[in-house]
């Protein structure tokens, strides 16, 4: 658990657990303000300047830009190829009040008090020093500016029917994520981290993703079956000694069996926090 800010010297090394395999980007591209940032939507005002940290393929970022025109939105991500892809998406959708840049959550290349809103979706769970990152988010917010952060809590993920393969998947996910310096149960710590970073007027809520229909199960189950064997998650699991190709193949099979089951159902809880700088 990363409850306190850590020094750079003592912090564990970080690696993005999911990586940028097509199966991961496909899921990220499904995200919109409606399904991933509805808690922020009532606070979006025309003309606002927004920073989206960890913007990935850019679908949420572009959606934010549409909602605050003529305001400007900047998305930053650590992966240059993903940034290029996001800029291409914005151009193809003719959204001209958004731009994407390569950036570091711990060292944002923006002046103090540059933004009305800083948004980060599914970012803090991957950071070894989430409070340090939140301090940096606060630095670039204008006085009274709004922070909006949302992260899953894998400790609360539940599914049906029972599956030994998915039980092992969840156990392995925790092992790999912690080994990469992250906190897979980040949702439960968001309020604490935000408070420790010096924010005020903290409002903590929660919403869920639910996958139940045939289409939802096929999409989510196939994505994780591919991730289990082909993505950076698989590479990290093997390199760390936590798993092996045979076990990962069995986990992939478990995901496909769950997706094919008409009774299949899965819930992922997300904590979300709004706070003022």
pLDDT in tens, the chain (277 residues): 443 333 222 334 555 545 444 544 454 567 899 999 999 999 999 999 999 999 999 999 999 999 999 999 999 999 999 999 999 999 999 999 999 999 999 999 999 999 999 999 999 999 999 999 999 999 999 999 999 999 999 999 999 999 999 999 999 999 999 999 999 999 999 999 999 999 999 999 999 999 999 999 999 999 999 999 998 899 999 999 999 999 999 999 999 999 999 999 999 999 999 999 9
| pLDDT at position 29 | 62
* φ, ψ of residue 225 in degrees (nearest 5): -65, -40
Tokens of 159: 């599914």
CA angle at 79 for the pair 118 and 174, rounded to the nearest 5°: 80
Question: Domain extents for the chain?
Answer: 22-276
Instruction: Could you please state the CATH topology (level 3) that the domain comprising 22-276 is classified under.
Output: Rossmann fold (3.40.50)
What radius of gyration do the chain's Cα atoms show? 18
Q: Give tens-digit pLDDT for 29-64.
A: 678 999 999 999 999 999 999 999 999 999 999 999
Q: Give tens-digit pLDDT for 172-188.
A: 999 999 999 999 999 99
DSSP state of 128: S
Interatomic CA distance for residues 273 and 152, integer angstroms = 12
Tokens of 30: 């499904």
């Amino acid at each position: 658990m990363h409850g306190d800010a850590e020094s750079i010297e003592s912090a564990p090394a970080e690696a993005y657990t999911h990586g940028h395999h097509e199966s991961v980007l496909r899921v990220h591209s499904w995200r919109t303000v409606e399904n991933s940032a509805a808690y922020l939507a009532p606070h979006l005002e025309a003309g606002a300047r927004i920073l989206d940290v960890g913007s990935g393929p850019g679908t949420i970022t572009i959606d934010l830009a549409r909602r605050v025109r003529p305001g400007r939105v900047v998305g930053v991500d650590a992966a240059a190829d993903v940034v290029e892809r996001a800029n291409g998406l914005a151009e193809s959708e003719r959204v001209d009040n958004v731009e994407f840049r390569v950036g570091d959550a711990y060292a944002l290349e923006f002046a103090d008090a540059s933004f009305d809103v800083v948004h980060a979706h599914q970012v803090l769970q991957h950071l070894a020093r989430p409070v340090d990152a939140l301090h940096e988010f606060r630095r670039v917010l204008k006085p009274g500016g709004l922070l909006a952060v949302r992260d899953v809590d894998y400790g609360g993920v539940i599914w049906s029917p029972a599956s030994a393969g998915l039980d092992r998947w969840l156990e392995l996910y925790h092992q790999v994520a912690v080994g990469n310096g992250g906190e897979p149960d980040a949702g439960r710590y968001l309020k604490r981290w935000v408070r420790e970073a010096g924010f005020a007027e903290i409002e903590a809520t929660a919403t869920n993703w639910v996958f139940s229909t045939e289409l939802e199960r096929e999409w989510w189950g196939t994505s994780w079956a591919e991730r289990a064997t082909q993505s950076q998650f698989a590479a990290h699991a093997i390199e760390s000694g936590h798993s092996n190709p045979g076990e990962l193949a069995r986990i992939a099979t478990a995901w496909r069996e769950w997706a094919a089951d008409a009774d299949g159902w899965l819930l992922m809880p997300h904590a979300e926090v709004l706070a003022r700088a």
